[in-house]
């Protein structure tokens, strides 16, 4: 649907303008997708992934969007040693090549963790959404999300949007 494409663009812009800078303030650096990875994953991870170096570990963070449908997102985050990760199937993976889904354990951040509901602007059938609705929603949740991400990665504490996986 045309409407959902427009909503997706608005959600991407809101995340880019409101959440990504807050991650930058917490020393997360954006790692852009390249080559084959970009072709396969750009729809799901339009911002690539983010890395933050802390002592002898690397914090990895991903903002995932669905390919189709109403625009929503969830965040995955985890920690890997700078020396890399020993995966059960793939063997040794360099820290720079690790994705959150490879890690055991890792954290997922949802609007409602118990049900796995992704972050999305509430849809009102009686009112047309506009770009400001998406921006206001992301502004509203950004500060709390960044704090919860730090609490999970640094102190292994769960907040109201956090689910520990694996």
Over residues 25-48, the mean pLDDT reads 92
Residue tagged 């996986």 (tokens):
165
In this prediction, residue 121 has a pLDDT band, given cuts at 50, 70 and 90, of very high
pLDDT at 134: 95
Domain span including residue 108: 2-165
pLDDT at 137: 96
- The total of other beta-carbon atoms located within 10 Å of residue 52's CB is 20
Give the helix/strand (H/E) hosting 24.
helix 20-25
CA separation for the pair 56, 35 (Å, rounded): 29
pLDDT at 135: 96
Over residues 96-105, the mean pLDDT reads 92
- State how many domains the chain has: 1
């Amino acid at each position: 649907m045309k409407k959902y494409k427009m909503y997706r663009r608005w959600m991407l812009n809101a995340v880019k303008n409101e959440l990504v800078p807050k991650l930058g303030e917490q020393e997360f650096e954006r790692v852009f997708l390249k080559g084959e990875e970009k072709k396969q994953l750009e729809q799901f991870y339009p911002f690539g992934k983010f890395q933050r170096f802390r002592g002898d570990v690397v914090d990895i963070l991903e903002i995932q969007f669905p390919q189709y449908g109403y625009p929503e997102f969830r965040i995955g985050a985890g920690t890997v040693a700078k020396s890399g990760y020993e995966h059960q199937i793939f063997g040794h993976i360099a820290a720079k090549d690790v994705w959150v889904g490879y890690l055991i354990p890792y954290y997922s951040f949802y609007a409602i963790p118990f049900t796995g509901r992704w972050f999305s602007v509430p849809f009102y059938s009686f009112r047309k959404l506009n770009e400001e609705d998406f921006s206001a929603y992301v502004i509203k949740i950004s500060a709390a999300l960044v704090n919860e991400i730090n609490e999970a990665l640094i102190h292994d504490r769960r907040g109201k949007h956090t689910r520990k996986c694996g």
